[in-house]
Amino acid sequence: MQQKILVVGSGGREHALCWKLAQSNKVAQIFCAPGNGGTASEQKTENIAIPVSDFNALMAFAKKHSIDLTVIGPDNPLADGIVDAFEAEGLRVFGPRQAAAKLESSKVFAKQFMQQNQLPTARFAVFDTEAPALAFCRENDWARVIKVDGLALGKGVYVCDSVEECEQALKEIFGTGRFGASASQVVVEERLYGPEISLMVLSDGKTLRPMASSQDYKRRFDGNKGPNTGGMGSYSPAPIYEPYAEAIQQEVIAPLEVALQQAPFEFKGLLYVGVLIHDNKPYILEFNARFGDPETQCLLPRLESDLVDLFNACIDGTLADATMEWTANSAVCVVLTAGSYPESGAKGLPITLKPMPESVVLFHAGTQLQSDQLEAHGGRVLNIVGLGETLEGAASKAYDAIQFVRFDGMAFRRDIAQGVSLCLSS
């Protein structure tokens, strides 16, 4: 029987999820809550105007429309227990419960989990006030990274060069209250140096199955300069992954699988493992309890297998037997943002869009369709994904297609996937 799916979220990641799910002949219809201007016109898909935080309205919709499977995109509803709420009502849902989503929503919890299970991660200590945290940075010249415990829209991590910068960061965290309850604790950890790999791993509670490797670009400007953002671009596969694939499997994925099997919580869903290669060894930098954005936009166009089968296998505990195949090609995603990004700015600017050339997929993020006029609503607006036999080819496809998109203030990085096959450090 064909299935009806509800996708929760409104970003580029959710558009990519809808796009891939719509290709399955097992999927009849998709609803995206609240969706964006791209999901509004994606095949089989329609938007419904329910915010991601309104669990009761989402559950009522899922019941009324006999939704077979709900897929949760963003971190906040997972941290707030949306999966527990759906399950309590007997509704089928893809994503970790609140207790497992804590691997993302509390950095202290994630670090303690890694430490207890001897998973490779940077040395650290936890503090709940400013003075002892600063004293720790002064005493340990390796302690140069400060992270607020809770979710902070990607802005709660300070990678510092000096004690003075640590002092500044700690003042900002404890002195201004800008992170609210997220900053009741901080992790102070060792600064590691090396290239990063995003590894998205499917989990059914027993088995971990890594998806293809990818890499994202967090800083706003070329050459990894400027403020941190939600992500300015991505590519897949990450060439740096290949030489470390075996080490990552042996030293990260295999022990993580055992640790999760023994944990007091069950992790079902997508576990994003941020890996950094330091001194030739893989370390876990962070976990996210959901698909990465914008990594998902370049990952899913490379997935040959049926995504709805993989989601159902995670829920049913049959992931070990599921088929997951990838095309040999490469994908590069360039994010087009509002001029003011990452600061907020004008909303409702008209977008002109010409048809995309072959081997290019356009995923929307901050767009809305207002009576046939597509509008930019700030932040990350569109994701252009180029596909090609090589990363260079895929990047040219994406960059060449930017000429078909226009809106006032449109901005993007010009160095996404440039030279990565030659120069492996990020």
Q: Enumerate binding residues for ligand AMP (CB under 6 A).
A: 122, 145, 147, 157, 159, 189-192, 196, 218, 274, 285-286
Closer CB to ligand AMP, residue 346 or residue 424? 424
Q: Which of 143, 295, 365, 405 binds ligand GLY (CB under 6 A)?
A: 295
Compute the least distance from the CB of residue 105 to ligand AMP, in Å. 12
Among the listed ranges 109-117, 176-184, 291-299, 382-390, the one in contact with ligand GLY (CB under 6 A) is 291-299
**Contact between 251 and ligand GLY per CB under 6 A:** no
Distance (Å, rounded) from C-alpha 360 to C-alpha 141?
A: 47
Nearest to 76 by CA among 154, 157, 187: 154
Give the residue, chosen from 77, 150, 292, 342, that forms a contact with ligand GLY under the rule CB under 6 A.
292
Those residues whose C-beta lies under 8 Å from the C-beta of residue 217, and which sit 6 or more positions away, are 224, 231, 232, 233, 234, 413, 415, 416
Residue 159 interface partner, choices ligand AMP, ligand GLY, none, CB cut-off 5-8 Å depending on type: ligand AMP
**Of the two residues 46 and 80, which places its CB atom closer to ligand GLY in the complex?**
80
> Does position 216 bind ligand GLY by CB under 6 A?
yes
Q: How far is the CB of 300 from ligand AMP (least distance, A)?
A: 21
Q: How, if at all, do strands 352-353 and 157-159 pair?
A: unpaired
Q: Which of ligand AMP, ligand GLY, none sits in contact with 36, Cβ below 5 to 8 A by type?
A: none
Burial 343-366 (b: 16+ CB within 10 A, else e): eebeeebebeeeebeebbbbbbbb
Q: How far is the CB of 293 from ligand GLY (least distance, A)?
A: 5
> Smallest Cα–Cα separation from 368: which of 111, 47, 22?
47
Alpha-carbon distance of 15 to 36, in angstroms, equals: 8
- The region of 168-176, 248-256, 292-300, 418-426 touching ligand GLY under the rule CB under 6 A is 292-300
Pairing of strands 360-364, 380-388: antiparallel
Please choose, out of 76-84, 204-212, 288-296, 308-316, the segment that lies near ligand GLY by the rule CB under 6 A: 288-296
Q: How far apart are CA 26 and CA 6, in angstroms?
A: 14
Write out 318-336 in H/E/C secondary structure: CHHHCCCCECCCEEEEEEE
Binding site for ligand GLY (CB under 6 A): 216, 231, 288, 292-293, 295
